[in-house]
């Protein structure tokens, strides 16, 4: 239970008034703190958790994918409808500059066969350690276990183990993350607080998430956890055409998840929101053309069962065979033409996204329309307050695009706050007050 003691942070004469406050010690907040501190500002960084960068560290567990080496045009296209806004961040901190920044921290990077860029040991911890060391050297003061709970009388209110404190500064950067993996700190609790201050916030929704297909008990008990390594997945467009994308995904206890599903997750999520469900199509044999598949299905099979025939002629067995049985009616399975078509485009109805807390990232958040036009991340409704990272309403697939945009927006917000302080004549030639 937190004591409700009121203790203004500014009461001690020995401690100078913080000049910029960053709330949120994820990649976006740390980057904003770096820009501000390097610009000669005293930065106080607050985070609700016991240490910074919890989600960043988790991202490192499965092999931290920090950015992508594909050509810029393809890279920028990953941000979809918000490409133009995100490009302002990318222009100031390009994927190549992300890599140089990491190298500057003493960490090597390499480009994987897919073009994804990883730190040399694929881990986040050494990078985070080096980064925090740099920030401390720059004078950033870290205040952990300080949960921001909103404003009171123009001051920021923090709940701490020692009780409540109030604090204020000439500029504030909010980098509070989205709403997935709440146990790592980003719980989206800030959304109503900002909305209450006339900031336009789009509902937070899951992104890079799995979906429920409501499997039968029979299928789920046999195939949950099974990977599909050579498949393609597609969602029909308005004209009924399906653009398939090759990749991998996993059958979960309730539906499907994994990189290929995440890549389509924004579109699938939106389709479910519109229509109540979404039908995706699975190409179980992306390396065989439709003609070859039909020929093999039609080939005389003697006394062999259809299942053994599919296994021996087309390698369809295990979870692929299970999916065919799960998604295709008995009659269609027995019809060679329909079976061959299903092998190349098996319809699977997805009912709902998995809960946002399980998602890799979230969409929604502070709308760009709520920010000033300069691309600094300053809230129109709250001059001097800047936002950065996943809490802004953009989204991207996995592949290093999330972190790259978080870094870029953190830099933009840090620079915006620095310019704001300078304009307000609150930074006197970089000398601490
Ligand atoms: C399993 C997993 C794997 C991932 N892998 C990758 C990957 O390989 N590549 C990639 O690009 N992206 C990856 N991501 C996504 C990436 O980690 C996030 O997009 C990124 O961390 C978001 O950065 P952020 O700074 O905006 O927010 P966060 O990293 O979520 O940080 C927000 C911070 O704000 C703090 N905070 C929140 N509310 C408050 C409050 N009220 N008061 C005080 N502090 C508060 C939180 O404690 C947290 O420290 C992965 C995510 C997950 C979950």
Ligand 1 mutation target, pool 59, 125, 392, most atoms within 8 A of CB: 59
Q: Whose alpha carbon is nearest atom 38 of ligand 1?
A: 176
pLDDT computed for residue 3 by the predictor: 36
pLDDT computed for residue 214 by the predictor: 93
26 CA distance to ligand 1 middle (Å): 5
217 CA distance to ligand 1 middle (Å): 35
232 CA distance to ligand 1 middle (Å): 29
Please determine, for residue 231, whether its predicted confidence score (pLDDT) is greater than 60: yes
**Residue 402 CB less than 6 A away from ligand 1:** yes
SS3 content of the chain, % helix, strand, coil (to 5): 40, 25, 35
Tokens, residue 312: 């021996």
**Residue 403 CB less than 6 A away from ligand 1:** yes
Ligand 1 mutation target, pool 21, 26, 208, most atoms within 8 A of CB: 26
Q: How far apart are CA 323 and CA 330, in angstroms?
A: 13
Confidence class of residue 1 from pLDDT cuts 50, 70 and 90?
very low
Q: Whose alpha carbon is nearest atom 8 of ligand 1?
A: 65
Q: How far apart are CA 20 and CA 29, in angstroms?
A: 12
Q: Whose alpha carbon is nearest atom 24 of ligand 1?
A: 177
Between 339 and 430, the more confident residue is 339
pLDDT computed for residue 229 by the predictor: 93
Q: Whose alpha carbon is nearest atom 5 of ligand 1?
A: 59
Atom of ligand 1 nearest to the CA of 177: 27
Where helices occur in 290-335 by DSSP H, the ranges are 290-298, 306-314, 318-327, 330-334
281 CA distance to ligand 1 middle (Å): 32
Closest listed residue to residue 327, CA positions, set 315, 338, 314: 338
pLDDT computed for residue 428 by the predictor: 52
pLDDT computed for residue 12 by the predictor: 36
pLDDT digits (tens, 9 = 90+) for 69-123: 999 999 999 999 999 999 999 999 999 999 999 999 999 999 999 899 999 989 9
**Residue 56 CB less than 6 A away from ligand 1:** yes
Please determine, for residue 433, whether its predicted confidence score (pLDDT) is greater than 90: no
Q: How far apart are CA 208 and CA 231, in angstroms?
A: 18
28 CA distance to ligand 1 middle (Å): 8
56 CA distance to ligand 1 middle (Å): 6
Cβ neighbours of residue 75 closer than 8 Å, sequence gap 6 or more: 68, 90, 95, 401
Instruction: Provide the mean pLDDT of the chain.
Output: 92
Please determine, for residue 192, whether its predicted confidence score (pLDDT) is greater than 60: yes
Q: Which whole number is the average pLDDT over 282-308? A: 94
Q: Which is it for the CA torsion 265, 269, 275, 277, positive or negative?
A: positive
**Residue 262 CB less than 6 A away from ligand 1:** no
What percentage of the chain has pLDDT greater than the value 90? 87
Atom of ligand 1 nearest to the CA of 52: 49
Q: How far apart are CA 390 and CA 403, in angstroms?
A: 9
Number of residues that make up the chain: 433
Q: How far apart are CA 241 and CA 112, in angstroms?
A: 32
Atom of ligand 1 nearest to the CA of 53: 49
pLDDT computed for residue 18 by the predictor: 44
pLDDT computed for residue 425 by the predictor: 63
pLDDT digits (tens, 9 = 90+) for 11-32: 333 445 448 999 999 999 999 9
Edge to edge, the sheet with strand 278-283 lists 346-350, 278-283, 227-235, 245-251, 255-257, 211-212, 352-353
**Residue 75 CB less than 6 A away from ligand 1:** no
pLDDT computed for residue 79 by the predictor: 97
pLDDT computed for residue 17 by the predictor: 40
């Amino acid at each position: 239970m937190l004591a409700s003691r009121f203790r203004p942070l500014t009461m001690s004469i020995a401690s100078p008034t913080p000049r910029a406050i960053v709330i949120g010690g994820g990649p976006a907040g740390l980057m904003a703190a770096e820009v501000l501190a390097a610009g000669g500002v005293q930065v106080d960084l607050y985070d609700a958790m016991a240490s910074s960068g919890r989600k960043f560290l988790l991202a490192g567990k499965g092999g931290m994918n920090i950015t992508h080496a594909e050509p810029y045009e393809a890279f920028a296209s990953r941000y979809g409808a918000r490409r133009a806004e995100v490009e302002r961040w990318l222009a100031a901190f390009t994927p190549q500059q992300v890599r140089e920044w990491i190298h500057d921290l003493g960490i090597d990077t390499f480009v994987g066969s897919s073009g994804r860029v990883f730190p040399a040991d694929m881990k986040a911890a050494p990078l985070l350690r080096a980064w925090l060391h740099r920030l401390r050297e720059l004078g950033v003061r870290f205040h952990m276990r300080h949960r921001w709970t909103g404003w009171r009388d123009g001051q920021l209110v923090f709940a701490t183990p020692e009780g409540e404190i109030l604090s204020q500064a000439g500029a504030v950067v909010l980098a509070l993350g989205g709403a997935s993996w709440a146990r790592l700190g980003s719980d989206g609790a800030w959304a109503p607080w900002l909305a209450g201050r006339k900031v336009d916030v789009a509902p937070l929704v899951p992104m890079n998430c799995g979906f429920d297909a409501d499997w039968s008990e029979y299928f789920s008990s046999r195939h949950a956890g099974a990977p599909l390594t050579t498949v393609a997945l597609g969602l029909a467009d308005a004209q009924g055409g399906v653009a398939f994308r090759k990749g991998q995904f996993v059958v979960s206890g309730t539906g499907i998840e994994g990189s290929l599903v995440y890549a389509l997750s924004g579109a699938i999520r939106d389709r479910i929101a519109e229509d109540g469900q979404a039908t995706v199509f699975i190409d179980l044999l992306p390396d065989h053309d439709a003609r070859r598949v039909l020929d093999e299905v039609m080939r005389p099979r003697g006394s062999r069962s259809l299942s053994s025939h599919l296994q021996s002629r087309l390698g369809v067995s295990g979870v692929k065979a299970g999916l065919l049985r799960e998604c295709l009616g008995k009659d269609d399975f027995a019809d060679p033409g329909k079976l061959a078509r299903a092998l190349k485009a098996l319809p699977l109805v997805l009912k709902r996204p998995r809960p946002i807390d399980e998602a890799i990232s979230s969409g929604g958040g502070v709308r760009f329309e709520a920010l000033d036009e300069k691309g600094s991340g300053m809230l129109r409704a709250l001059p001097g307050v800047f936002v950065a990272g996943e809490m802004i309403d953009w989204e991207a697939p996995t592949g290093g695009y999330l972190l790259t945009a978080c870094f870029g927006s953190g830099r933009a917000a840090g620079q915006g706050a620095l310019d704001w302080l300078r304009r307000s004549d609150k930074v006197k030639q970089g000398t601490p007050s």
